[in-house]
Amino acid sequence: MTLFIFNLCLALLFAASAFAKPEVYIQNGNFEEKPDPRFLKKTRIIGKYSLPKWEINGFVEYISGGPQPGGMYFPVTHGEHALRLGNEASISQTIKVIPGHWYALILGASRTCAQDEVLRISVPPHKGDVPLQTLYSLNGDVIAWGFKAASNFTKVTFLNPGVQEDPACGPLLDAVAIREFIPPKPTRTNLVKNPGFEEGPFPIFKSNNGVLLPPMQQDYMSPLPGWIIESLKAIKFIDSKHFNVPYGKAAVELVAGREGAIAQILRTVPNKVYKMVFTVGDARNGCHGSMMVEAFAAKEKLQVQFTSKGKGKFKTASFKFKAIANRTRITFYSSFYHTRINDYGSLCGPVLDQVMVYPVA
């Protein structure tokens, strides 16, 4: 118990500095600096450099949020204007970074109509496709995407790689910010890096829905330092300003059942016994029902049941495991799917926080 309290105190001290590297908009990141009306043909932007601070290619529209002609509705939560990327269209901007440092792009994005819409993000030498077909919030989602800077300046590009039959379809992008990370390290008393998720893509904008961490991100470029999003669906990063968080200023919400898993690889000593301690609960966001978090380490597994009434309760669980190699993967996912009691269109799930692994004396 003394070791648990010591680890917890360390986590809370680290939480106090979680905002040391604040997020900032990149130039005209909310697209409120408008194109000159001479370069607008209805909603289409004409000219490669007609959108201030950005370079555009292909069919890019400058739109206002709300009802659209044809009966569609475009959610623009983080301002009044957004961009819609048509087939194979892109926008890009060159930004200043520090070589070798870790960053996350934080963006407001959603699909407009097609179920298989994808947003391709490129920051050389990294690139990846962020699927937008699953909506986690009716007002549009906030997404984080991580990268490690390779030079003093890098070009950030957002591309719609798809070719849709309906030209009115395509990803909607309404805000872009960037956050620099401090790479987390394990401690002598806890093998888990970033155990309380205090180093992460804290949301800005006007969002109170958390930040989605895209699936299939490896830990060398994860938007959640130290952790791997090794699943088909996203994990949600939540903050204490908008959600109930058991400890510190952040946690993760497992919003996609068994399709959403989070993992980390630890350095261990073969045949040595370790104890894993973690906390589960609900985010006080109306997520209700019988929940279960499954935890895995080496050959051991623990199922933690939790009945949520959506009021912010939590519990701590633990189990021991024997390492079978010098690397041990720990993994967590939710056994079931859940939606909010007042919004059945929004996926939610159990909260995971304060993960600790230490050797048993």
Based on the domain organization, do 139 and 276 belong to the same domain? no
Shared domain check, 168 and 32: yes
Is 14 contained in some domain?
A: no
Give start and end residues of each alpha helix (H) in the chain: 2-16
Query: Are the beta carbons of 119 and 158 closer than 8 angstroms?
Result: yes
Final residue in a domain of this structure, among 113, 146, 180: 180
| 172 and 187, same domain (yes or no) | no
18, part of any domain: no
Per the listing, tokens 């895995």 go with: 296
Q: Does residue 165 sit in the same domain as residue 197?
A: no
With respect to residue 1, please indicate whether it lies within any of the assigned structural domains: no
Side-chain-side CA neighbours of residue 354 (13 Å): 27
Q: Are residues 214 and 171 in the same domain?
A: no
Amino acid code (one letter) for 11: A
Domain boundary among 128, 163, 180: 180
CB atoms within 10 A of CB 327: 11
Domains in the chain: how many in total? Answer: 2
CATH code of 213's domain: 2.60.120.260
Cis before 125 (ω within 30): yes
Provide φ and ψ at 11, rounded to 5°: -65, -40
Domain boundary among 159, 180, 201: 180
Please give the pLDDT value at position 209. Answer: 81
How far lies 198's CA from each of 14, 61, 207, 226, 301, in Å?
7, 37, 19, 11, 26
- Assess if residue 235 is contained within a domain: yes
Query: 65 in a domain, yes or no?
Result: yes
Within this chain, do residues 190 and 136 fall inside the same structural domain, yes or no? no
What is the domain extent for residue 41? Answer: 24-180
- How far apart (Å, rounded) are the C-alpha atoms in residues 68 and 256? 30
Q: Residue with structure tokens 């309760």?
A: 313
Please name every residue paired with 248 in a beta bridge, in sequence order, or none if there are none. none
The answer to whether residues 202 and 351 belong to one domain is: yes
Per-residue pLDDT, 9:
46
Residue 222 lies in a domain: yes
Question: What is the predicted pLDDT for the residue at 17?
Answer: 39
Residue position matching structure tokens 């109509």 = 113
In a domain, 107, yes or no: yes
pLDDT tens digits along 13-36: 433 333 334 457 789 998 999 999
Put simply, whether the predicted model's pTM sits higher than 0.75 gets the answer yes
pLDDT of residue 220: 66
Both 40 and 129 in one domain: the answer is yes
Q: What is the pLDDT of residues 249-306, one digit of tens each?
A: 999 999 988 888 999 999 999 999 999 999 999 988 888 889 999 999 999 999 999 8
3-state secondary structure of 242: coil
What's the confidence (pLDDT) of residue 273? Answer: 97
Residues 254 and 144 placed together within one structural domain of the fold: no
The one-letter amino acid code at 238 reads: I
As given in the structure block, the two tokens for residue 103 are 């960053």
Are 255 and 339 members of one domain? yes
Do both 79 and 197 map to the same domain?
Answer: no
Q: Which residues of the chain have pLDDT under 50?
A: 1-22
- What does the pLDDT read at residue 263? 95
- Residue 63: which H helix or E strand, with range? strand 60-64
Residue 170 lies in a domain: yes
Residues 207, 105 within the same domain: no
d(CA 32, CA 139): 19
